[in-house]
Each structure stands twice: as C-alpha cells, then as structure tokens.
Amino acid sequence: MFRLHLIPPGTRISFVKWRYFAFALSILMTIGTVALYFTSGLNYGVDFLGGTLFEVETTQAADIAKIRSTLGDLGFDDVTIQEFGSPNNVLIRVGGDAEATDTENVVPKVREALTKNIDPNIQFRRAEFVGPQVSGDLKRQGFMAVGFAIVAVVIYIWFRFEWQFSIGALAALLHDVILTIGFFEVTGLEFDLSVIAAILTIVGYSLNDTVVIFDRIRENLRRYKRMEMHDLIDLSLNETLSRTVVTAMTVLLALIALVTLGGPVIRGFSAAMIWGVVIGTYSSIYIASPIVLHLDLRRSQTAQTEEAPEKGAKEVSAKKA
C-alpha cells in the first residue's frame, strides 16, 4: 500500500546545533516587539478602545481621506478608518470624544454626513457601540486570561515532567505570545477579542506539540542510558518530526481556507492562528527542547519519577502474596 512520507524514515537533522542561532533570532524579535509596542503600539479594535464601530459599503471605491475629513468636521477627533475586505467596504471607528460615548447621538450624525457628502447610496451594514468602562474591563480580562492560561500550563508541565521541562515550556509559550503580538504590531491588523481567543488557542497548540516531544525525550532517557543528551534530544526531535510536520500542515490547510474564504470578520483570528502554528512549531523544536538541554536534566531525576510508581506497585503485589 502506498504511503506518503513527508519526512523520510531515518531522517537525522541536527536541530540542537542551531540552537544558539535560534536563541539569538528569538531574542532580537522579542526586543523588536517590545520596542514597537512602546512606539507604534497595537491597532486596538473597538472591543478594547471603546466607541462606535461602523461597517459601510459604498457603490464605488471609498475615498478614505474624504471620509476622514467629513467625520472630522463633525467634531470627532479620534476616528480610525480602514478598508475592510474590498475597496468598497470600509470599517470606521469613532471614539475619544464625549459625544462618541452616546451611540444614539453618533449613529444618525455619521449616517447623515456620509450619505450627504460621500455616497447617497451608502449602506450601513452594522453599527456597534462599546463604552469606555466596558472596553477597559475587556482589555484587562483578555490579557489576564492569557496570563492565567500560561501559569496553568506551567503547573501542569511541572507535575507531569521535571522542573527543567516546565521552564522550557514556559519560555516557548511566552515566546509564542510575545511574537504573536509583534505580528499584529508589524501588520497593523486590528487587535480585538477574537485575537485574544486565537492567542489562547496558540498556547494550547504549542503546548500539545511540546508535550509530544518531551514525552519522547523522557522515553529515550530510559531507553538509551549512555547516549549524550545533545544526541538524545536530536534523536527525539527527529523521531517526532513527522508527527509535528503533518499536524502543522493539516492545521495550516484549514486555516488558509479560513483566511481566504472566511471573510474579513474573522481575518484577524485566522491570521493570528496561521502565524501561531508556524511560530509554535518553531518554538517547540528550537526553544523548549534546547532549554531542557542547557538546564542539565539528569537521567537520575527521570528514573526517580518513573521508579516511584513501580516501587509502589511491587509493594502492593507483595502484600497480596
């Protein structure tokens, strides 16, 4: 029977050899993300900034400069306008003005101004309002959810494996979250609650990938008593490489279909997930596992973890006898 092998059996790639280059690259990208956050920042959506969000469609390509000027004449200082899927579709966020906190006042004024000055046949697909207090709570709770998820993951890894593995997993997860935020800083895509959901999903995906590799490392620690840790980790990464690549490719195919056919509403979520799958796979191989190597994991620690249950089982059997 024909079988497709994306990774040929017996592949031996020296991943650990490139760990210092990977560390340097990740550190540079992390520093760049932090620098961008304090300079240009994120393009927060209405979920986090508050205000009124309009999605409009014009009969011809929208003149963004003219729309901005028209809304500026109404006294709205904080106006964000961007194309939304096609040149005819525009996303407008109005906020930052005292009047902008009253959706009953904003919607008719914006509708009248755009109909009169931009396009008499303009269509308003939706108008959503989020108050400043609600948006602040959403922002705080969203980032808290990410923080709690990472802490829970580290505790889980700590109990399931040795502490060296939990440090490697923590570094990989923080790496994935920070670089996903950096992706939105560079691209300028809207950062809203759907992106927070994507980040939480990325944390789960990256953890799953990392745990599979850690399980194989622990198995090989018991199987190859004399193998150097450098070679053992490389062997474990190669043995799980086929599973890692197939899983990533399968998820990416679904996400590419979602980002191309799913429409602009979920484009931020889909884009974040695509980036997260790529960066999560990278961190599982080049960040989490090499950190375990540098933390000097010893076979005696793994042996003690595994022998404790076996010892208990033998004692039970002896009592029964």
Compute how many other C-beta atoms are within 10 angstroms of the C-beta atom of residue 124: 15
Indicate the pLDDT class of residue 318, thresholds 50, 70 and 90.
very low
Confirm whether pTM is higher than 0.95: no
Poorest-confidence range of 36-45, 71-80, 167-176? 71-80
Please give the pLDDT value at position 320.
Answer: 42
* Helix pair angle (163-187, 193-223), 10° resolution: 150
263 pLDDT more than 80: no
Domains of the chain: 16-41+135-306 (1.20.1640.10), 51-130 (3.30.70.3400)
- Taking only the tens place, the pLDDT of each residue in 102-123 is 555 778 888 888 888 888 888 8
- CA separation, residue 110 to residues 101, 106, 124, 269, 293 (Å): 14, 6, 10, 28, 60
Residue tagged 């922002």 (tokens): 139
Query: pLDDT tens-digit profile of 192-246?
Result: 788 888 888 888 888 888 888 888 888 888 888 778 888 888 898 988 888 888 8
